[in-house]
Amino acid sequence: MDVRNDMDLKQRLAEETLKIDRIMRDDLAAITDTLDPQLAEILEYGLFAGGKRVRPLLTILAARMCGNEDNGVYNLAIAFEYLHGATLFHDDVIDRADTRRGRPSVQKQFGAVAAILAGDFLHAHSMALVGEFAGVDGLSLFSQVTRSMVDGEFLQLRNASNFNQSEEDYFLAISGKTALLIGAACELGALFARAQPGQQSALKTYGISLGYAFQIIDDLLDYQGDAQLTGKGLGNDLCEGKMTLPLITTMQRADAADKQWLVKTLENQLQRQQKLSQVTSMIEKYDGFGAARNKASDIINKALDALSRLKQQSNQQSFEILHGLAHYVLNRSN
């Protein structure tokens, strides 16, 4: 079966995704008696509204790649979904987002304070799981990537009014916000499996590269996606004044007049909201979308190169799925 085919990949992952959801429900059910009823309601609402479960899947697949079939990896893997959920709860408060995955966000449904507290709980609970199932080394890795995520948010905040960002600035920000977390999901799976240092390093490189590409495609979907598929309105990044890769590339390539127009538009929040189509046309004029997609493709090739180093010493089924996931990330529509 060629798992580069989107439908084949989804079929291969469906059983694992359902099992991850079941493990999460069992885990939360075990502590329900200790939770405030509203917190339990928020967790149910926010965690089980869809989602691809990519991060826990990567942890499980990485462990399988390294020859470990211990089902305890599922309890470790769900920590990454909890941490991801915490960041979404908090991000929607920061961005004042009304929707998430096509329905009211947690902060819209339950209020900002409740969303922040629920996110705090998920963060704490995720760390407890990592400590239990991956020990001190795993917890150290998990804590390090959590710090990097916060640092990435601060870097993005510091660059919020900088409309002349470089590509390097962009990758520094998304490294902390996205790529390192996905890299850690792979690395922790290898650590759980007691993999050799070379295996652990290759899976980390695969995961970080996958994370970079994932974020670049997110940037493209924000301008070019189908809102019914993404569950988010088009142009959110532009409305918030975020300098994503297509726009950064356009600013670097634009002539003086077009660059001046873009800066004036970006400086005015109302203009950003009203001129999505004009900004999109400007990005198309300078091939900002094409350049970003080419960059994502190059990065995916780096991920596949890292993965290929493990082919002869790994679980073949897990290798094929990770290979397919890389292609899915590059070609996804939601």
CA 259 to CA 15: how far, in whole Å? 49
Residue 101, Ramachandran bin (φ over 0: left; ψ between -120 and 50: alpha; else beta): left
- DSSP-derived secondary structure letter, 68: -
CA 37 to CA 230: how far, in whole Å? 30
Cβ within 8 Å of residue 280, ≥6 positions away: 223, 224
Per-residue confidence in pLDDT tens, the chain, 334 aa: 344 456 677 777 888 999 999 999 999 999 888 899 999 999 999 999 888 899 999 999 999 999 898 999 999 999 999 999 999 999 999 888 888 888 999 999 999 999 999 999 999 999 999 999 999 999 999 999 999 999 988 888 888 778 888 999 999 989 988 899 999 999 999 999 999 999 999 999 999 999 999 999 999 999 997 766 665 668 888 888 889 999 999 999 999 999 999 999 998 888 888 899 999 999 999 999 999 999 999 999 999 999 998 876 667 888 999 999 999 999 887 7
CA 126 to CA 132: how far, in whole Å? 10
Residue 99's DSSP bridge partners are 104
Comparing CA positions, the residue from 93, 81, 316, 68 lying closest to residue 200 is 68
Ordered domains of the chain (ranges, CATH): 6-218+305-331 (1.10.600.10)
Q: Are 146 and 176 in contact (CB under 8 A)?
A: no
Question: Quick one: CA dihedral 211, 217, 220, 225, positive or negative?
Answer: negative
Global pTM reads 0.90
CA 54 to CA 326: how far, in whole Å? 11
